[in-house]
Structure formats: C-alpha cells, structure tokens
Amino acid sequence: MTRVLAIETSCDETAVAIVNNRDVLSNLVASQIEIHQPYGGIVPEVASRQHVETVNELVDTALKQAKITWADLDGVAATAAPGLIGALLVGLTTAKTLALLHNKPFLGVHHLEGHIYASYLSHPDLQPPFLCLLVSGGHTSLIYVKDCGHYETLGSTRDDAAGEAFDKVARLLDLGYPGGPVIDRLAQQGNPTAFPLPEGQVSLPTGGFHPYDSSFSGLKTAMLRLIDKLRQQGDLPVTDLAASFQATVARALTKRAIACALDYGLDTIAVGGGVAANSGLRQTLQAAAAPHRLRVLFPPLKYCTDNAAMIACAAAEHLQRGHQSPLSLGARSRMPITAVMQLYNP
C-alpha cells in the first residue's frame, strides 16, 4: 500500500488529493472558472495568486477527509510539467516544502501522465499496453502506453487542441467561457448533420494524409465563415451549429483513435482530459469501437478535468518502483510525455 498526497496547479484549478495506490481517499478541487470568466479565458497571474490563497487550506482538508496524518503518508507529489510556470511553481514549492518538513519522498509528475492514470482510478485492473486518446484544452494526442513512465506519441494536433477549438467556437457563438460544457449541452438539442464541416487532415510530404495527426484550425475557420454568413442572413441556429461542430470533432478523433489502435494491435483505448467528458465523443467512439471489439474506457467526469487524484495515482506507482524526484526539480512549461523519466533520479 502506497499513500501519496498530490497537488495539481498546472493551470486554473487548485487541486489536492490523497490516494492509496489506485484507491482515492480524498479528492478536492477549487475551481477558478468564475474568476476568469470576465476575461474570456485564463489569466496566468490571476491563476497563480489564487493557487497561493487556496492550496494550504485544501491540503489540511484533504488530510481530514482521508482521516490520516502525515505519519501515514509515503510521499508527496506535485505536477511539474507542462503548464503555466507561475501556477506550477505554487504547487511544486508547496509539495517540496511539505516533503522536506515531514521527511517524505518528493515526486514531480508529468501532467499528461496524470491524465493517463485517471483511467486507472476507475478501472484498477487496467494494465499496459493500451492506447490513450488524450484530449484537453491544450493537448490532443494518441499515446502508446507501454509501461509506467514509458510512452510513445503516435499522433498529435498540428494546431489547435480539441478543447481549445471548443472554447474558440463558443466565443464565436457568444456562449461564454468555458466553451466545452455549453456546446455539449446545446448540441444535444440540435441536428448534428445540419451543416457539413471539414474534419481537417494533415498532409504528408510524400502524398496522402497522416493517419493519426489531427488539425482543427480549418474547422474553426469554417465555423467562423459559416457563423458570419448566417448572421448576415439574420438566422443563427445555435443548437444546430453546436451539434454539427461537436459531431465533426468527435468523428475526427474517433477515426484516428480506432485506426491507431487497430494498426498497433491494441485492444483498449483509454480516454483522458477535459474533452473526455464530452457526450458526443463518448457516444461516437463507443459505437465505432464495438464492431472491432475494442474496449473503450472513459473516466468519471470528476477525473476528466484537472484533478490531483490522477497525479497522486501516477506518483504512487512511480514511488513503488523506487522513483523519486530531486528537490531541485524545476517547473517546465513544455515537456513531451516521452521525457517523463527525466523527472526522476536514476
């Protein structure tokens, strides 16, 4: 049994959790959505300041909810990369200080590895190898999960991430921030075939298209032109536009994930990241996977968005394997998931 307290502050959510291997003992998230809504997006400095004000109280509450003391913990972890530097530093500094104060091992965790481990929380029997479709506001990737800390990126976005595209289209439709939940809600009332939209393809130098890479900038531009045209005509069917856009994104992601899993002989697709909460993606991917007898795993909604339970789960397995991070470990705004083991001492 390995108990780890983890802190997640890579962006605009302050989160603290305690897990025992893959069992969640406490999981707290302080959302900043209302704080950033007036700006239509995340303001990094505001996010960092809010983390400072919130994190200590969450640590205390997490311990109380888990009904344990510092003596019962085996390690302390925090997200180290990628993310907003100022925000990451708050969580990292807090975790390092607590680890030093209570004489516990410290672990820096890769944020994307955390999203992979979100599936382990709801499916404790899950074991590599499998394919992870990671879709969030900043990332859209197909990752071959070979083992703890060992990953291969098979596909990625060449421009906008899927979650980013949702936010930008929501802004075009004056739906506010964040865009994903409101588009999902409106899409359920609209016609997904009302407007034909381009899925986006990435050309190869030798001809043809990349089978796993995605592109959403063309779709975003098509939505901009269509919305402008409909506004000029005096008719803006928002629900149909939302449904058509969401169906196009779900179809594009599904095609690439299914093809990648089949080509690499993987029988399981685990989906992680904020867009994993999207009902259109859930329905489309499950339906397309069934004829191929592929298992598709979606985390519960509370583990799709940024949370510390997934960070703690990843840290617990690294700690079990003897991996620790130096207290000199710094925050990194960018870091490929293939470089995860650079966060730990040999």
In tens, the pLDDT along 110-135 reads 999 999 999 999 999 999 999 999 99
The token pair at 328 is: 């000199």
- Look at residue 264 in the predicted model and tell me its pLDDT: 98
The token pair at 101 is: 């104060």
Could you tell me if 49 and 184 lie in one domain? no
What residues make up the domain containing 166? 128-301
- Look at residue 332 in the predicted model and tell me its pLDDT: 97
In a domain, 226, yes or no: yes
Could you tell me if 154 and 291 lie in one domain? yes
How many Cβ atoms from other residues are within 10 Å of residue 87's Cβ?
Answer: 30
Positive/negative CA dihedral, 157, 237, 276, 265: negative
Could you tell me if 177 and 314 lie in one domain? no
Could you tell me if 174 and 191 lie in one domain? yes
Could you tell me if 232 and 283 lie in one domain? yes
Could you tell me if 169 and 104 lie in one domain? no
Instruction: Give the span between the Cα atoms of 94 and 78, in whole angstroms.
Output: 8
Positive/negative CA dihedral, 108, 335, 141, 186: positive
- Look at residue 33 in the predicted model and tell me its pLDDT: 73
Question: What are the φ and ψ backbone dihedral angles of 256, each rounded to 5 degrees?
Answer: -70, -40
Instruction: Give the span between the Cα atoms of 114 and 2, in whole angstroms.
Output: 17
In a domain, 8, yes or no: yes
The token pair at 30 is: 């302080």
* Domain at 261, CATH number: 3.30.420.40
Could you tell me if 193 and 321 lie in one domain? no
Query: DSSP 3-state assignment of 284?
Result: helix
- Look at residue 313 in the predicted model and tell me its pLDDT: 98
- Look at residue 46 in the predicted model and tell me its pLDDT: 84
Q: Sheet harboring 14-20: ordered strands across?
A: 23-30, 14-20, 3-8, 75-81, 106-110
Q: Tell me the sheet residues that pair with 165.
A: none
Looking at residue 53, what DSSP letter applies?
Answer: H
In a domain, 217, yes or no: yes
- Look at residue 182 in the predicted model and tell me its pLDDT: 96
In a domain, 311, yes or no: yes
In a domain, 123, yes or no: no
pLDDT in tens, 275-296: 999 999 999 999 999 999 999 9
The token pair at 16 is: 């603290």
Could you tell me if 145 and 290 lie in one domain? yes
Could you tell me if 233 and 173 lie in one domain? yes
Could you tell me if 264 and 173 lie in one domain? yes
In a domain, 238, yes or no: yes
Could you tell me if 42 and 133 lie in one domain? no
In a domain, 173, yes or no: yes
Total domain count for the chain?
2
Query: DSSP 3-state assignment of 198?
Result: coil
In a domain, 231, yes or no: yes
Question: What are the 10-residue block averages of pLDDT along the chain, 346 residues in total?
Answer: 96 95 96 79 84 96 98 98 96 98 98 97 96 92 98 95 94 92 97 95 86 94 97 95 98 98 98 96 98 97 96 98 97 96 91
Query: DSSP 3-state assignment of 28?
Result: strand
- Look at residue 319 in the predicted model and tell me its pLDDT: 98
Among the listed residues 319, 242, 298, 256, the one whose alpha carbon sits nearest the alpha carbon of residue 5: 319
Could you tell me if 262 and 201 lie in one domain? yes
- Look at residue 1 in the predicted model and tell me its pLDDT: 85
